Amino acid sequence: MEKDFFDVDIVKNFAFDKMDNPYKFELQAIEPEPSQDSAFKIEPASCYVGSRSTHSFTVTFDPMKGTGHFRSIVLASPELSSEEKEIQQNNQGGLSN
């Protein structure tokens, strides 16, 4: 059976568009359990990355650990949503490209 990647809640919207959209979806990632004795090593193993910030991780692979079944490895490049971009533009005096 496939497991969910996110917990989904419907919450009250307090953003600028709350009159048009009184509720919104809120997604919370469900983190998998850390792999034990994996061929992959990620440093740091755990980290909080704040909004509008970057953090580098080092991923190494040890081919001596065999050819087992690997659950997953996720690398991401998050981007601002269109709503966040609009808020950012409004906070900068409404300038747009």
What is the per-residue pLDDT across 56-84, written as a single tens digit (0 to 9) for each? Answer: 888 887 777 756 565 666 666 667 778 87
One domain for residues 86 and 55: yes
Q: Is 53 a domain residue?
A: yes
Identify whether the C-beta of residue 11 lies closer than 8 Å to the C-beta of residue 26: yes
One domain for residues 14 and 43: no
Q: How many domains does the chain have?
A: 2
Where are the strands (E) in the chain, listed by range?
Answer: 6-12, 23-29, 40-43, 58-61
Q: What is the pTM of this model?
A: 0.37
One domain for residues 25 and 40: no
Q: Is 7 a domain residue?
A: yes
Query: Mean pLDDT throughout 34-53?
Result: 80
- DSSP code for 17: T
Domain with 9 in it? 1-30
Identify whether the C-beta of residue 47 lies closer than 8 Å to the C-beta of residue 21: no
Res 83: pLDDT: 80
One domain for residues 40 and 84: yes
| Start-to-end CA span in the chain (Å) | 46
56 CB contacts (<8 Å, ≥6 apart)? Answer: none
Confidence of residue 96 (pLDDT cuts 50, 70, 90): very low
One domain for residues 42 and 83: yes
One domain for residues 80 and 56: yes
